[in-house]
Amino acid sequence: MKTIFITGASRGFGKLWVEALLQRGDNVAATSRTADSLKDLTDKYKSQFLAIELDITDRSAVIAAVNKAKNHFGNLDVVINNAGYGVFGAIEEVSEKAAKDVFEANVFGSLWVTQAALPILREQGSGHIIQLSSVLGVWALPILGIYNATKFAMEGIMESLHAEVADLGIYVTLVEPNGYATDFGGSSAVQSDAIAAYDTVKAGLGQTEGLLPEDYGKPEATVAAILKLIDSKNPPLRLFLGKVGLKKTERIYAEKLQTWRAWDEVSVAAHG
């Protein structure tokens, strides 16, 4: 039996994963902006489940929530940074508020949870931090540039953290889903005011590899992968979810390497 702390548990991947963990007997502390959204799990699983109402952009509240979970269950084995949302719009279209708000949630929210958990995990000499990233933290798509940026940021943070805590008994994993049939582009997303100059790019997105109807995975199919990741004695730094991620990443990075090699003479000359 493990003890898991997870953010963004009221719907989507978070809700699915929490239910699976509880069904197999794990203890789960789960956060949501409103505790009522988790009432069904509280009623069903009682002492096995702790619902915490939390705004992940409030650093002091995050620290209190993580410590509450630890004190309630006695330890923390796994911390899952799942909370976050998407912003849709060309770079020129995204407002200052929308850009700042999504960084507060997707980047700083995950950072605050991670910083709150690390002293506990260090004291235990064990633990696993799982960060929900995206294939869009590995390569970018147009009209999702600001969201891409939040995931690229977490890739850098977590890769550094992986090296920092490797000798402390703490594992770090970035989970990279491709598109899934969740509410990512629905009510949880922010849509920017449109500028007509980008209409053609937006219209072409429906024909983009990774965004075709057959490219979207079934959220329920991720459960087995997450349970296997949590149970692994040697979890990877990165784990793709879905059939698109690795295939497209291999092609995109082959193209990048080709360009870098073509310009290598210029690069070496710039060394001095």
Residues that are catalytic: 133, 147, 151
Question: Token match 């699976």: residue?
Answer: 20
Q: In what order do the strands lie in the sheet with 49-53?
A: 49-53, 27-32, 3-6, 78-81, 127-132, 170-177, 238-241
- Closest-CA residue to 226 (of 132, 157, 151): 132
3-state secondary structure of 172: strand
Sign of CA dihedral 251, 13, 186, 132: negative
